[in-house]
Amino acid sequence: MKKVYSLQIQYPEQMREFDSHLTKTGRRSLSHSISHSSTDSNSSGGSDAEDLEDEVCPRDMQQMNSKGTRDFCIKNIKLADFGRREIELAEDEMTALMALRKAAQGEKPLAAAKIVGCTHVTAQTAVLFETLKVLGAQCRWAACNIYSTQDEVAAALAEQDFPVFAWKGESEDDFWWCIDRCVNVEDWEPNMILDDGGDMTHWIYKKNPHLFKKVKGIVEESITGIHRLHHLSKAGKLCVPAINVNDSVTKQKFDNLYCCRESILDSLKKTADIMFGGKQVAVCGYGEVGKGCSAALKAMGSVVYVTETDPICALQACMDGFRLVKLGDVVRQVDMVITCTGNKNVVVREHMDLMKNGCVVCNMGRSNTEIDVNSLRTPELVWLHVRAQVDHIVWPDGKRIVLLAEGRVLNLSSSTVPIYVLSITATTQALALIELFNAPEGRYKKDVYLLPKKLDEYVASLHLQTFDARLTELTDEQAKYMGLSKNGPFKPSYYRY
């Protein structure tokens, strides 16, 4: 187990430090045209029933499922049957989570767990939610992204009495209202948090810090949320243990590298109708996400430039055949700029002022702070909403750039993510919740931890069953020679895959 921080921590009284790191996840556009893009998405919805509800905010609707339950807020409960079919299709690919369900038929490792979550609400994450219930947990859920919710899936969950508060096209106020509805409940207090971006954790710190007296731990999936947890830890204000699943090997390789390698092309095709051959592309960041995006674009015939601050990642980019540049040196000539850093202000107004007409700008990193979109909301620039997730920003001289998903995560906003990849991430999250909830007193301090290597390997082994794959087993002599257990873990915590 690799311990990241070790500090003496008290319950927070002032939240200013955490507030100052609030990302733009909640900085929502209130533009009418954007908020009504809910029928154009990675969701397969678009039925007449959904169209009729588009003009009414779900908060103003009184909905009830077939069992008479009203503890949810979604776009349209009538979409439940369609959403259930999507969830069933996802279950076929998410074999590891289904295996966990079978293993829990007798023992329920999350019995008495009350999990409050803020993640994407899609068919794949619904399989995770329902798996947690099978494992014995009570759950309440909100969406971490205003564009990624599949309304039909939210309806299917609500129909099964799952308290979900999410719909595609939420405003900023809607976003925080949904989170509050998950937390601020009479006679129900969470004891576990599953977060993607840190917004649920932030809200509890800000509005209900007393709840942390009962919370046993936090499981965080994204680099943005991890940064926020580390900030709390450094400030001595992290009052529960947390597991960082973002940096687990399986998540890094599959969700970040392999997933983005496949989904970046589909996302760009769906939104901007781009031909990739011969295009000049600047990829900002050469971590796992940047590696995946760069490899996919290079394979399609694009000329790819890479920007990087880390000399190790920079050297990897050079060895992989990419030219390492500063963005300012190529921004006038490139056809696309793709951010993959998780940082802030990677692409600023000065860069966009220099871009050529028709340059496409988008973000594949977790944080929606990478592109300084607010700097484009000035009187001299005109925003033209072309279609869902596509805006043209027009300069006074007639030049325009193409901004995708308002700088939010492109593949989650306008495309789909392979189910197999999401199965790996979801299994990692489920096992991390089980680990934290059942850990004996004293195993985890009020720090940020990596997922135990043994669990990381277990996630991988569960997914090998999808392939015609057979692992080689160490002999007793080999295990003794290497100083390993025959059952793993097979690599030390510091090993880099």
Give the amino acid at 149.
Answer: T
Using an 8 Å Cβ cutoff, are 314 and 294 in contact?
Answer: no
291 is in an annotated binding site: yes
* Three-point CA angle 366, 200, 81, nearest 5°: 85
Paired with 219 in beta bridges are: 194, 243
Q: Is 288 annotated as a binding residue?
A: yes
Unique residue bearing structure tokens 């106020």 = 173
Question: Under a CB-based contact definition with an 8 Å cutoff, are residues 333 and 351 in contact?
Answer: no
Tokens of 221: 């999936």
Gap between the Cα atoms of 373 and 164, Å rounded: 30
* CA dist., res. 74 & res. 49, Å (int): 13
- Written as one letter, the residue type at 220 is E
Residue 308 marked ligand-binding: yes
Contact 423, 96 (CB under 8 A): yes
Q: Can you read off the two tokens belonging to residue 83?
A: 């959403």
Question: Binding residue per annotation — 215?
Answer: no
The three-point CA angle 343-349-350 to 5° equals: 105
Instruction: Return the C-alpha torsion angle 58, 59, 63, 65, nearest 10.
Output: 80
289 is in an annotated binding site: yes
Question: What span, in angstroms and rounded, lies between the C-alpha atoms of 246 and 258?
Answer: 14
251 labelled ligand-binding: yes
Please name the residue that has the structure tokens 């710190």.
Answer: 205
- Give the separation between CA 345 and CA 261, rounded to whole angstroms: 24
Nearest-angstrom CA–CA distance, 450 and 244:
5
Token pair of 373 as six digits: 């979109």
Whether 457 and 427 have beta carbons less than 8 Å apart is answered as no
Q: Is 290 annotated as a binding residue?
A: yes
Catalogue the E-assigned strands of 77-159.
114-119, 138-143
DSSP designation for 484: -
Name the residue among 53, 44, 42 with its Cα closest to residue 84: 44
325 is in an annotated binding site: no
**Token pair belonging to 68:** 């008479």
Q: Residue 472: helix, strand or coil by DSSP?
A: coil
255 assigned ligand-binding residue: yes
221 has binding-site annotation: yes
Q: Is 139 helix (H, G, I), strand (E, B) or coil?
A: strand
- Asked if residue 246 lies in contact with residue 253, where contact means CB atoms within 8 angstroms, the answer is no
Q: Is 250 a known ligand-binding residue?
A: no
Ligand-binding site membership of 292 (annotated): yes
CB count within 10 Å of CB 471 equals 8
Coil, strand, or helix at residue 129?
helix
**Tally of CA atoms within 13 A in the half-sphere of 281 that contains its CB:** 32
Q: Give the SS3 label for residue 134.
A: helix
Q: Consult the annotation and say whether 425 binds a ligand.
A: no
Q: Which two tokens stand for residue 394?
A: 């027009």
Binding site per annotation, positions for NAD(+): 287-292, 308, 411
**Which residue ranges are tagged as binding site?**
122, 196, 221, 251, 255, 287-292, 308, 411
Return binding residues for substrate: 122, 196, 221, 251, 255
